[in-house]
Structure 1
Amino acid sequence: MTEFELIERYFDWGEGIGDDCALIEVDAHQQLVATVDTLIEGVHFPKETNAHDIAYKALAVNLSDLSAMGATPLYFTLALTLPAMNEKWLQDFSCTLKTLAQTYNIRLVGGDTTKGALSITINATGVVKCQALMRSGAKVGDSIFVSNTIGDAALAWQQMQVQEIPSIDLLKQFNRPEPQVKLGQSLLGVANSCIDISDGLQQDLSHILTRSKVGATINVDALPLSNEVTQHINNTDDWCIALAGGDDYELCFTVSKAQLDSIQSIEKELGIVLTKIGMITNGQGLIIKGLNETCQSYRHF
């Protein structure tokens, strides 16, 4: 049983599970969005990761979920499980967590502390003052876009598994992904659907297709890749690093032809690269042109 089959079988009670965040209607003009993520030592970050990077990523991945809904961050809670009381570690963790929270104007309002194996759980809430971005709105004929580059964090993780030292750029993408909060907000009323790429482009785009009941065709040659990921693929033909590696925390979204000019304006305004990688089609499933292998996205189970 996969993680998603587990959720569907035991916890989808017909109350709206299925997007990056839970959507709570406040009134006709405002929606609350809530998300929760847990990071566990040895699963989501190596044991030797410093407290600064752990704190940054723990909050950043939740901010990324909020961004996929177009939300403005409001507040978060922190559940911190520690193997021992280490004041230096706690000072470093707290300092970076506070700095990132202030950067995105999100407040820590409560939480819990327990003793055990190191894990960090953050529950973040934001607000959308119109209709939130959803996975279920993709339309046939939409163009599929991805922000910035993908595959960098996965390549860093792969290198660490074989005792290689990733470059500074790759480590930054792995330890300190930049949540695309401003992009998500800019896509409100522009994009038909959106998701953050945490489990890999192939799997996360497939969630859009399933929820929207459409198909898609993308081309590997169109994927936005850094020089290091490009070199890795040229040397190994390992396209799965970009398609299924995960940990990107970029946005994948779909846009109608009528809104393509708006995408160019958003690129210019935010100084961001938004790359068209394919189209939404009739039918079901994802067709990946140029891929000669089967990619397996990350699964917890």
Structure 2
Amino acid sequence: MNEFSLIEKYFTWKNSDLDGLGVGDDCALVSVSSQQQLAITVDTLIEGVHFPIDTTPQDIAYKALAVNLSDLAAMGATPWYFSLALTLPSIDEQWLKGFSQSLKALAQQHNIYLIGGDTTKGALSITINATGMLRKNQALLRSGAKVGDNVFVSNTLGDAALAWWQIQKQQIPSTSLLAQFNCPQPQVKLGQALLGIANSCIDISDGLEQDLSHILTHSKVGASIDINALPLSAEVTAHIANTQDWCVALAGGDDYELCFTAPKTQMDAIQLIAEKLHIVITKIGIITEERGLEIKGLEGGCQSYQHF
């Protein structure tokens, strides 16, 4: 049983009395008025699982909040507030100073406010519950992809996964790769800009292959993507040339970029968004009627990240 079948079997309950609440997207949506919805997400980071033991408190704090902001971005939500549950093995004031300063800086950057939480003693872990705001029925969902939509991703894929691969090989990643691994840039403005343009969206946390497949499952469609169309940095390109390991880009995870689908008629609008936000948006494939994900140019398969 993997993470998603566990959730489906034990925790996907029907909440017919609550308008808008549901399990299965990057955030749950809760209607709070006739015009507004809350987008709510939660993520936990565990030392030795989601970040190496020697990671700085600044990088831990940044990533803990960034991954939640990325979930809000995938729905097109405007960040509003968050709570923090922090489990510490001991009180280290120097560590706490670095952690809190980094957390505050990223929160201020995205105008999201810390409103409370909990602290306990134990193995180091950080849980953040973040909430954003949306106009009702405007959220980007995984279930909206349409046959004929183009499939897009933002920026580059595989940089964080390559950094982790090198760390496991006892190599020293470059500064740019480490930055992508420790301090991913949540695409909040992109998510907001895609409202009314994209038909579906998801953030890439567990790997493109797995996360795009969630869109296909929820939308009851298929997709065909071209492995050679994936946007890659020079370092990931060199790694693939040397090892033929496409899995860092296709299934490595920790990208925290957005994968979305949109009608062909929106190509010009998407190009304008990319120019305005100074980011790269790449078309990598198309949504098809036949179920499943076809990856043209890939020999063999890749295993995206699994918690269990």
For 1:59 and 1:241, the matched residues in 2 are separated by: 24
Indicate the residue corresponding to 2:59 in structure 1: 53
Shift of 1:77: 0.1
Partner of 2:94: 88
- What corresponds to 2:146 in structure 1? 139
Q: Which residue of 288, 295, 300 corresponds with 2:302?
A: 295
Say if 2:269 is the partner of 1:262: yes
The answer for the alignment partner of 1:161 in structure 2 is: 168
Q: 1:233-269 CA deviation, whole Å, 9 max, x = no partner? A: 0011111110000000000000001211110110111
d(CA) in 2 for partners of 1:261, 1:137: 20
Instruction: Give the C-alpha shift of residue 14 in structure 1.
Output: 2.5
Distance 1:214 1:283 in 2: 6
TM-superposed CA distance for 1:118, in Å, is 0.2
The alpha carbon displacement at 1:30 in A equals 1.3
| Secondary structure in structure 1 of the residue aligned to 2:180 | helix
The more displaced of 109-118 and 18-27 is 18-27
Q: 1: CA distance between counterparts of 2:170 and 2:108?
A: 35
Say if 2:262 is the partner of 1:242. Answer: no
Aligned residue type for 1:119: S
Deviation at 1:28, TM superposition (A): 2.9
| Match of residue 178, structure 1, among 181, 185, 191 | 185
Q: Distance in 2 between matches of 1:97 and 1:267?
A: 27
CA distance in 1, matches of 2:185, 2:46: 20
Instruction: State the AA in 2 paired with 1:80.
Output: L
Q: Counterpart in 2 of 1:116?
A: 122
The share of aligned pairs that are identical, in percent, is 72
Unaligned runs of 5+ in 2: 16-21
Query: Structure 1 CA distance, aligned partners of 2:174 and 2:116?
Result: 36
Q: In structure 2, how many angstroms separate the alpha carbons of the residues matched to 1:271 and 1:42?
A: 34
Which 4+ runs in 1 deviate beyond 6 A?
Answer: none
**CA-to-aligned-CA distance 1:172-224 (integer Å, 9 cap, x gap):** 00000000000000000000000000000000000000000000000000000
Q: Please give the secondary structure, in 2, of the residue aligned with 1:33.
A: strand
Root mean square deviation of aligned Cα: 0.6
Rounded to whole Å, the distance in 1 between the matches of 2:90 and 2:97 is 14
Equivalent residue number for residue 8 of structure 1: 8
Q: Secondary structure at the match of 2:32?
A: strand
* Cα distance in 2 between the residues matched to 1:252 and 1:180: 11
Q: Does 1:225 align with 2:232?
A: yes
TM-score by length of 1: 0.99
One-letter amino acid of the counterpart of residue 66, structure 1 = L
